[in-house]
Amino acid sequence: MDDRLVIALFRHGITEENKRKAYLGWNDSPLCAETASLKILKRYQRYYSSDLQRCINTVERLFPSTCPRLLKELREMNFGRWEEKTYEDLKDNRLYRNWLTDPQSYCPPDGEFFHEFTTRVDSGWGKITEEILASTLESCAVVTHGGVIRYLLSRFAPHEKEFWAWPAGHNQGYELIFERESLRRGERCISLLEVPLTANAHG
């Protein structure tokens, strides 16, 4: 058995709320029409997805005829009462300004602290890696959200960057290539590859 395995991370397609630059966490929003033009040629042995509809619909478009395992732990951060609001809506709110300055110490009302978000994502990652390591799988794909991808890259990419330094666009993914034992030990991957999504002429 090959000692290396691939975990690919893909962000859901762009939604109407994303186009408005609104905060979109546990609320949902329909995918934009142009998402239908995104394609990927690669295939993986197993699929995981956030349980939010925008991710499920993205799996259906990118990886048709697959049956992903849905994990609530892979949801975006819960922005509470700031869901579907924009910077312009919130810029005069003192708590919002404090949160932008120090997101570790402040929390959206009725939302999640950053440490609650990362603990939840760690739990979902643990479920995925436990299944992979208990099997002979050599690849899987995870369809999730921008914040989840940035956090996982900050934890497991071969070179360290802070959370916000990682781009997490709607038109590309990442493949994290691990040695099996390093994944078991929770260490960083040995290689990181960008995986572009292609669009047809109308995309």
CATH number at residue 38: 3.40.50.1240
Is 118 inside any structural domain? yes
In degrees to the nearest 10, what's the CA dihedral of 38, 177, 9, 87?
-110
Q: Average of pLDDT values for 22-28?
A: 97
Count Cα atoms within 13 angstroms, Cβ side, for 100. 11
Is 105 inside any structural domain? no
Rounded-to-integer distance, Cα 113 and Cα 110, Å: 10
- Token pair in block for residue 158: 């071969």
Ramachandran quadrant class, 86 (left: phi over 0; alpha: psi -120 to 50; beta: rest): beta
Helix 114-133 and helix 146-156: axis angle, to 10°? 70
Contact 10, 146 (CB under 8 A): no
Q: Average of pLDDT values for 82-108?
A: 97
Rounded-to-integer distance, Cα 180 and Cα 162, Å: 25
Is 83 inside any structural domain? no
Res 117: pLDDT: 98
Q: How many domains does the chain have?
A: 1
Rounded-to-integer distance, Cα 121 and Cα 113, Å: 13
pLDDT digits (tens, 9 = 90+) for 139-182: 999 999 999 999 999 999 999 999 999 999 998 899 999 999 99
Is 139 inside any structural domain? yes
Is 23 inside any structural domain? no
Is 103 inside any structural domain? no
Is 90 inside any structural domain? no
How many angstroms separate the Cα of 47 from the Cα of each of 68, 71, 139? Answer: 5, 11, 9
Rounded-to-integer distance, Cα 75 and Cα 23, Å: 13
Say yes or no to pLDDT of 202 above 50: no
- Domain extent at residue 56: 4-18+31-76+114-199
Of the two residues 201 and 130, the one the predictor is more confident about is: 130
Is 181 inside any structural domain? yes
Contact 12, 50 (CB under 8 A): yes
Say yes or no to pLDDT of 93 above 80: yes
Rounded-to-integer distance, Cα 65 and Cα 28, Å: 23
